[in-house]
Structure 1
């Protein structure tokens, strides 16, 4: 088998493709012959050495990757309900950038009907993130106004779709005119292109009564204003800090990181109480052991896809040996939808 191995934190040159023996599934695990691998911005953060759970659970060297799709080719002891030859999609807490992976059965699901393996590999990480943010944390209700930053990206597009499905009014923010159509197609009723208009006056005009939910993975660039534009009872959902990280070069700038940390707002419990606002943050990689959560989320995703209320994201594919280029493109901020590696 082949897998991507990162020996130490660094730039794109750290992504090394190596040959090794295929793993053997342990009790309660299945082995998947991987056909497609979803690429997420978190994988880039892992490579830079800035992803806390990667160091807590694995350390160096590490193989990144949170989601794969392929065919079951071996079963561990005690596995029931899955058969060799079944097409599946799985969430992986790291290790997904490989042609063969072993995964606990509670992290393995049937490929949603009508999806190719490449499309299926693009679904779990971003759609579970969006579902957890909007439903498990924000409890978004019909008629509420939801702001989605990076609305043409993987998580952003999924948030727009879940928002539309929940009968919310979705305001999407994109970084260029070429992304407006994707955000609109995903379900944003209003799309703000921040490259051509001041962002926050446009948000105020689109939601003069304030936001009920703001979904923000930007970090210090927008967190403070996202919070300030909440209505009473509004919820700010935080799941990333992308603006603190580089768009080119693949290596973090320590000064930029330090400045970003200083600029990141702190929220007073007194202010939260007086202003009737909430701030909730999460990192899904810490919750892969929670089988009921994964099952509920993936069931909601499969149901939405089957009913046509959700659709798989637009994908751009790369061969596995072009993983470095995939990372470069994703970090640039120019991509739309999801990037997928093919083995």
Structure 2
């Protein structure tokens, strides 16, 4: 088998293709021949040495990747939910940047017939993040109003659609005009282009009472204003810190990283109590062993995709040898939907 290995923190040159033997299959595991895998901003953070669960669970060298789609090649003796030859997709705690992956059976799901392998590979990590943030982390009142930063990205696009499925209003914020039509097609009630509009003013004008939830993966650049836009009992969901990180060059700007870390807003629990507002944060990679959480989320996601309520993300494809190009593009902040690597 072949895989992308990162020997240590650094730029695009650290993404190296290596050949290795496949390890032995355990009783509860499934061997997948990977046809495509998704690229996420978390993978870039892994390459930079900034991703906490990567440091805790693996260290160096590491093969990144949280999501994949392919065909079952072999199953352990205790596996009953999938069969050899079946088209599947799912999640892995790293190691998805490869031609083959071995994962516990509870992380493997039947691929919906109405989407391609590439589309399937771009769904698990981002749609699970959206689902967990919206439905398993929070109790929503009917017809809530939700503000979504980076609405044209993988997680943002899923949040826009899931909000609509659940009967809520959504406002999507984008950073480039070419992303507007995509987010409108996904069902956002309002799209704000922060490159040409004052996003804070436009968002406030749309919902004078504030927002029941604000999803923010930017971090330092927008957290304070996102919190200020919350309605009473509103919740700010923070699941990333993209604005602290470089958009070109592939290497960390340590001065910027330290500066933005020091200037990232801090939220005092006494003040939050007095304002009747909350802050919630999570990291999906720590949840892959939660069988009930994963099963419920993927069950709903697959049902919605098969029924046509939930669309697969728009995908841009790259060859296995061009992983660095995908990292460069996702860092730029200009991509729409999901970036997918084909192994064949």
Please give the TM-score of this superposition, normalised by the length of structure 1.
Answer: 0.98
Partner of 1:35: 35
Q: Which consecutive residues of structure 1, in runs of 5 or more, have no partner in the other structure?
A: none
Q: Which consecutive residues of structure 2, in runs of 5 or more, have no partner in the other structure?
A: none
After superposition, residues 189-338 of structure 1 pair within 5 angstroms as 189-338=189-338
Which is further off, 109-118 or 233-242? 109-118
Deviations 1:156-187 (A, max 9, x none): 00000011111111000000110001111112
The structural deviation recorded for 1:20 is: 1.3
After superposition, residues 18-57 of structure 1 pair within 5 angstroms as 18-57=18-57
1: distance between equivalents of 2:161 and 2:25? 36
2: distance between equivalents of 1:201 and 1:291? 42
Partner of 2:131: 131
Partner of 2:149: 149
Q: Is the 8 A contact 2:82 2:110 kept in 1?
A: no
- The question of 1:60 aligning with 2:55 is answered no
Deviation >6 Å, runs of 4+: none
Q: Is the 8 A contact 2:81 2:105 kept in 1?
A: no
3-state secondary structure, aligned to 1:96? coil
1: distance between equivalents of 2:287 and 2:80? 23
1: distance between equivalents of 2:58 and 2:274? 42
Q: Is the 8 A contact 1:138 1:237 kept in 2?
A: no
The structural deviation recorded for 1:242 is: 0.5
The structural deviation recorded for 1:78 is: 1.7
1: distance between equivalents of 2:133 and 2:119? 22
Q: Is the 8 A contact 1:12 1:324 kept in 2?
A: yes
3-state secondary structure, aligned to 1:50? coil
Q: Is the 8 A contact 1:140 1:166 kept in 2?
A: no
Partner of 1:168: 168
What is the count of residue pairs matched by the alignment? 343
The structural deviation recorded for 1:240 is: 0.4
Q: Is the 8 A contact 1:24 1:102 kept in 2?
A: no
Deviations 1:234-292 (A, max 9, x none): 01001000000110011111111111111111111111111111110000001111011
1: distance between equivalents of 2:307 and 2:230? 32
2: distance between equivalents of 1:39 and 1:113? 22
3-state secondary structure, aligned to 2:3? strand
Deviations 1:35-58 (A, max 9, x none): 000111100110010001001000
The structural deviation recorded for 1:197 is: 1.1
Partner of 2:112: 112
Q: Is the 8 A contact 1:90 1:103 kept in 2?
A: no
3-state secondary structure, aligned to 1:24? coil
The structural deviation recorded for 1:27 is: 2.0
The structural deviation recorded for 1:141 is: 3.2
